[in-house]
Structure 1
Amino acid sequence: MAVPVSWVLSQPDLAVRLKGGAAGVGREIDLVVTSELESPFRWLSGGELLLTTGMRLPATGSARLEYLRGLDECGVAAVGFGTGLTHAEVPADLAEAADAIGIPLFEVPLPTPFAAIVERVTARLAQLQHDALLRASRAQPRMTRALVKAGAQAIVRELAVSLGAKVLMLDSAGAVTECHPGVPDDNLLPTVRAALAADPAASVSSVHTDTSGMSITHQRISVGRSSYGDLVVVSPAPLGAVDQILLGHANSLLALDFEKPARLQAAQHLLNSTALGLLLGTDADLTPAWAQLAQAADAQGRIRVLVAECDATRAVAGVRITLEAALVRAGLPLFMHVLERRVLVVLPAAKGTALAGRLATEIDAATRKLVRLGLSGAHPPHDLTAMLANAELAASAAERGGPPAEFTELAGRSLLSFDATRQVLNAMADTMLTPLVDYDRTHGTDLLSSLRAFLESNGQWESAAAVTGAHRHTLRKRIATAQSVLGCDLDNARVRAELLLALLARGS
């Protein structure tokens, strides 16, 4: 950061007056120093505002010209000449020499102490530095978000806006792939390529072109031995330290975008190949899929399956969105499968119970009333099919809107937990429910779902109607039709119990 000489001249309370070298008032001051040495040149490094009372000013005009020329060659930005002590006014020949060289020379009147100028310029430099750091702190997260949302084009645009400069991205062959604002003109592009060719191996380089008056700063976009091109900034003046930090941040983001992890590419290739094999109906090798699923396991290599059984199609989307967002927010890999009204997710076994309970509470209340949740026990990933069946059984026994039912709590206490019992119930379901299934298929009705809602609600018409979304009078008519088709008495508790077991075994 630097303060223009013109800014110092514009401060009314300092009361300084320009005496010569008006052509150089755009020069920038990095530091204020005081010196009464005849030859201070060896202690100057450039960018200084030199304050002096002329105590040892050369006596002749030619010597004074050489004195100012020496300061100019050292890069001194300007000279402040204090009057009222050694000299009553700024010597006329010194002002003429300043005009000839183009180095600003201004008078500092006796009432204005040098310390006031030092303090004012130092405070301004600190303010500019703070503003630059604040600008950088705001620009860096914008660039990061831009990369995530829109890629390299957005990064180039954000960097150009932050620096107030033109930014180009060239590929390894020198072709412009991105540019903001606008496109490079015919004169600029050859200059940029010449700057890159001058030092092609450099990771960062900055040059000032005398012909155009522009500064060109470029960084090589590379990771290890791989090079992806160059990021170039064309600005009216050389970039400051903070601006170079922004350039480096943008370069790092672009490098990350180019150099995607090899394991991600390999996983994507395996996923694509497996999907293609499934689509073609060939015997695809599922080994990569099992390896992928293993990422969801806990430290002991176990998983749990959470199943959400939805009574209405409209509830499926809400459940899916909620579960997906919650798992991503928890930093867990997302393994989800949706089939009709069933949503399945895989959880790490160690966190499964607590996590499933928390997920249930995040489903909005209206949707939760239409959802039953079941959680399997903890097993290795290869037991996925068995865990799915267990989770479905647990869901069938869960309360709508309630917490997830765990299969391990049902084992030994539920008829549906035993394969032999399920075979009997399946046979009973085929015998008892086939007439109703045939009726629904022929007439386009859904009496089976209405019957299950009625039975699971213990014959409570209001509760069953809420589940099906039908008016209670409409539901009464459906149940009467179902009773007629089945040829049974639904007022009989034993009949209702057998029908409910048949429906649970069938999974309707």
Structure 2
Amino acid sequence: MRLRALLDTDALGLKLLGGEDELDRTVRGVMTTDLRDPSRYLSGGELVLTGLAWRRDAADSEPFVRLLAQAGVAALGAGEAELGDIPDDLVLACARHRLPLFAVHESVAFATITEHVVRQVSGERAGDLAAVVDRHRRMMTSGPAGGGPDVVLDLLGSDLDLRAWVLSPTGRLIAGSKVGGPALAPEVCAKLAAEHLTAARTGRRGPHRLPLGSTQYSLFPIRSTGRSAQAARDVRETVLSEWLLAVEADASDWPEERLDLLQGVTQLIAVERDRRDAARTVRRRLAQEVLELVQTGAAPAEIAARLRVAAPVLLPGLGAAPHWQVVVARVEWEGGDIEEEGPIAQSLLEEILVDPLATGPEPSDRIAVAHTGDEAIALVPLPAVSSEHDGSETGILADALLDSVRDALSAGLDGDGRVTLGVSAAVHSAEGLRGALEEARHARRVAAARPGRVCAAGHQELASHVLLLPFVPDDVRRAFTARLLDPLRDYDRRHRAELIPTLEAFLDCDGSWTRCATRLHLHVNTLRYRVGRIEQLTSRDLSRLEDKLDFFLALRMS
């Protein structure tokens, strides 16, 4: 489409401020940004929409416009909602670089312009298929009855023979084509998500290509059109929450028309993403209200009343939830230059708590996540346990929580970020929520003391020596373990005596000579000789509980 056609559309409310001689330029797409340098996301021919949040003073306009002109964008649309009238310095900069400039009235949403441009460009370049996709975009925006992104992906499969899937940053399958073959395996989803996050952190322009075995995949980012995404100035603010479109094809030799169509599809799916985020607003507000009551020491009766309001939303048809769990998450970046890490952790925790085997955009509609300061706090209702339950622990288990998402998230954290989570035990009433919150926070601190980019700890570890070990200073650890274990290690190196493995097995067998000898495939006399050598080298007595405990702790800290 031509720029001139935008001016002829009254519903868009655009006013031309400069560049009348350039109105025959072709618009190939649209991008919304408030980055100071968005050039790495531009491929040329875009209508760039901006709320001017990047402009701090008049000197910022010239470099911003110069970058857009060098990237070959078609025009710039500046919103009036932030500053009112468009600044003269921006008008002059656009004139110098012959970049058409439109003022976007504050009553017109950028999403309205985006949808109009996508519809027009898709219709011109992809013919009937894009028109069908657009019809489904309207169905998607009207609600779940439209079929969601699955319908669009099925169209890609049937009309263009392209199998495609929408994945979350944790590798969860959100939607996928049912045409032409089976769904993606979970391990493939995790690898695709990890590659996408790695590429996003390094700033590489999509689509990103990834060969897995004999299959080539092309990965297209799905960027939210919401205001929070527009205002993000650092890729770390959005990288852990953006979806991606994975296509089973090598896009390196695609014609421009097909690339444009896929970019249009990602924008249509972004509409579904924004709709899902909007649907979470009620649950987030409920969690925030309950959290404020718990943290301010409100009476249990007041908290219980709020939970009775929340339960029908979180557990539709089940009435009040008999059990609740609390999960606390924190995302930390080295350097500390992210203004608010709480919302980042909130979006990520909402995704982590989704069952990895669940599909679709809204399987987390029974989870309410709030954020306070730099942490996110999830209120997770648990359904009633039947009388036939075997007594094993129910609900969320810290050990299993991150198994399916750890690899992908580690790629997104890219060496300078950490995700730590703590999980409380289930509580049966409002009186227990405050304790559950503190328990989850303590567990998260235990997780934070461990090595690794993605760590979680549960309430079980708060009643064990495991709680204490991470907080022992490093110099104390080294001195304690060296005094007890270094003589054994030196002896093992010189004589290959395997004293350390023998000590570990002896303690694991609770000092039982017979069981330990059986485990190590040794004669009991040989085992007694080795234990005697351990005692001789360390001046300890393994028949004494205190010495056994010292050895046990030294092995755990080594």
- Structure having the higher Rg: 1
Q: Which has the higher contact order (CA 8 A, sep 6+)?
A: 2
- The TM-score, its normalising length taken from structure 1, stands at 0.29
